[in-house]
Amino acid sequence: MSQSGFLLIAPLLVPILTAIAGLFGLAILERDLPASRRLQRLIATVGASVLLVAVLALFLQVRVNGIQVVQVGSWPMPFGITLVADLFSAIMLVVSGLIGFAVHLYALASINKEREAIGYYPLYFVLLLGVNGAFLTGDMFNLYVWFEVMLMSSFVLMALGTDKGQTIGSIKYVTLNLISSAIFLSALGLLYGLIGTLNMADMAVKFGEVRADPEATGLINAVAAMFLIAFGIKAAVFPLFFWLPDSYYAPPPAVSAVFAGLLTKVGVYALIRVFTLIFPLGSGPFQTILLWVAGLTMLTGVLGAVAQNEVRRILSFHIISQIGYMIMGLALFTPLAISGAVFYIFHHVVVKTNLFLVAGAMERAGKSGDLYKIGSLYKRMPLLAVLFLIPALSLAGLPPLSGFFAKLSLLQGGFAVDQFWLVGVALFVSFLTLFSMTKIWNLGFWKPDPAEEVEGQPEPVSIKTRWAAWYLPMILLALVTLAIGFGAGQFFPIAVDAGQQLIDPSGYIEAVFRSAE
């Protein structure tokens, strides 16, 4: 145990130090707001860039040298807290660093001065800290703590501002999440009573022994069901998704983009981790339940989207249907399907965040998010139209964009185990997704602006420096989408390796135990 695991701790240290530095700026320059703002923006930009570099370095380390483990504070597992980065964690961290960076650039251009003065940037980094912590931890109770860090910072980010709709959205959000946390905590208590450990790898081993005892089956299933519900609320799966559209629609675009991209995916990450490592599917009733949940989540989400007319509401419902695909990959529980789910998450986070950023720009240019009140954006902002089209078509799964390969691997996985119904649902939902994206395109970009008929020709929106700052993160994310689509041959093998590590967790368990010796 001589390794300091510097790279492993960096995804946590960078955001917390950035947040502290930002808070210092806020506290010291309390009376000089313009100077405080400039300092905040500088600190946050440096922090976001360093974080991106740090997660990429960690990813390379994991890719080259295998699973990385560190025992924080040198307390050996299962007593101390273990941080583990397998390939799946590392991929999730990369996506979190990437989104953290892109959305930060967008926030620089779009977040208003009041929010900056209250401490938007430090809070944003506390949120990233919570997300990264959840991806890194190898300890169940620690996962709960990171969830709380995330919940608190996201609640404040959401509630800052006095909009009525925003308050309603945030109250729903925080109430549901508190219920989820309570269930999570009770499940942890039961679990600890059953096997006496909170370390995930240790749990996996001890569970293997307990599972042989037929009397414990009921309790094990109850605990697994509680985890399913707790993480299901966070991930917004059927029938626990109803909080999501209201909450994600309300806050400013930069905030809702990072929520849409990252937060629900932490729930999905936790589901995948728990149901591969601790309660491997394949025995017990949970595989069937998850298959149903996956299908129904896809279907309800996409049908909900059809009924909406506001851009970000449509996109919020699509988050739900896309979560269904990721759960489908988990529920099929074959190496190909799980790899597909990993690839899907990466693709989805990039694409969905980008769509929310585009939606924010549409709302700003058209002064409304209602598709019937805006129009002719194609004429006015052709670049924005292209930037919408790339993620939108990728979301619907058109080749050769990233969504196509993600869906293809899931469908193949489904065919391989004869889940024809689910494959059918997935294809149907894809089709409806395309329909929704076409709707946004037709009404938002092509249809003449309703205001035009009253006021005559609107002026094209000029691309000044301010707009360039809006476009930059969208272009970045669109390039990533194109890269993983055209370069699927290079990127998919990484997802396959990650899927292998997930479906056969012995490598993970061994790495954790070895590091404690």
Partner 1 sequence: MNSIILRTAIRFLMPLLILFSLFLLVRGHNQSGGGFAGGLVAAAAFALYSLSYNANEARRVLKISPAVLITSGLLVAVSSGLIGLLAGQPFLTGLWTYITIPGFGALEVGTPVLFDIGVYLLVFGITITLVFSLEEGA
Residues that bind partner 1 (CB under 8 A): 1-6, 9, 13, 16-17, 19-20, 23-24, 26-28, 30, 70-74
> Alpha-carbon distance 269 to 342, whole Å?
9
Q: How many residues does the chain have?
A: 517
Q: Please report how close the Cβ of residue 68 comes to partner 1 at its closest, in angstroms.
A: 12
Nearer to partner 1 by Cβ, of 23 and 294: the residue is 23
Pairing of strands 82-85, 68-71: antiparallel
Structure tokens at 217: 């089956």
DSSP code, position 516: T
Q: Which tokens sit at 88? A: 């799946």
Whichever of 28 and 386 has its CB closer to partner 1, that residue is: 28
Question: Buried b vs exposed e over 4-30: b needs ≥16 C-beta within 10 Å?
Answer: ebebbbbbbbbbbebbebbbebbeebe
27/60 with CB nearer partner 1: 27
CB of 175 to partner 1, least distance (A): 22
As measured in angstroms, the least distance from the Cβ of 14 to partner 1 is: 11
Q: Closest approach of Cβ 325 to partner 1, in Å? A: 36
CA separation, residue 511 to residues 271, 495, 515 (Å): 21, 20, 6
- Sheet strands (E) in 104-235: none
CA 193 vs CA 189, 278, 356: distances in Å: 6, 15, 43
Q: How far is the CB of 181 from partner 1 (least distance, A)?
A: 21
The pair of three-digit structure tokens given for residue 512, joined into one six-digit string: 């954790």
Residue with tokens 């004429």: 379
In angstroms, give the least distance from the CB of 84 to partner 1: 13
Please give the structure tokens belonging to residue 186: 């009770």
Measured torsion, CA atoms of residues 437, 377, 443, 107, in degrees rounded to the nearest 10? 50
> In this complex, which beta carbon is closest to partner 1, that of residue 72 or of residue 480?
72
Our CB check for partner 1 shows the closer of 85 and 401 to be 85
Side chain identity at 205, as an amino acid letter? V
C-alpha distances out from residue 356 to 120, 359, 447, 461, Å: 19, 5, 21, 20
Closer Cβ to partner 1, 15 or 360, answer by number:
15
Token pair in block for residue 301: 């989400």
For partner 1, the closer of residues 68 and 353 by Cβ is 68
Tell me how far, at minimum, the Cβ of 1 lies from partner 1, in Å.
8
The least distance separating partner 1 from the CB of residue 250, rounded to whole angstroms, comes to 25
- 108 vs 516, beta carbon nearer partner 1: 516
For residue 99, the Cα-to-chain-centroid distance in whole angstroms is: 9
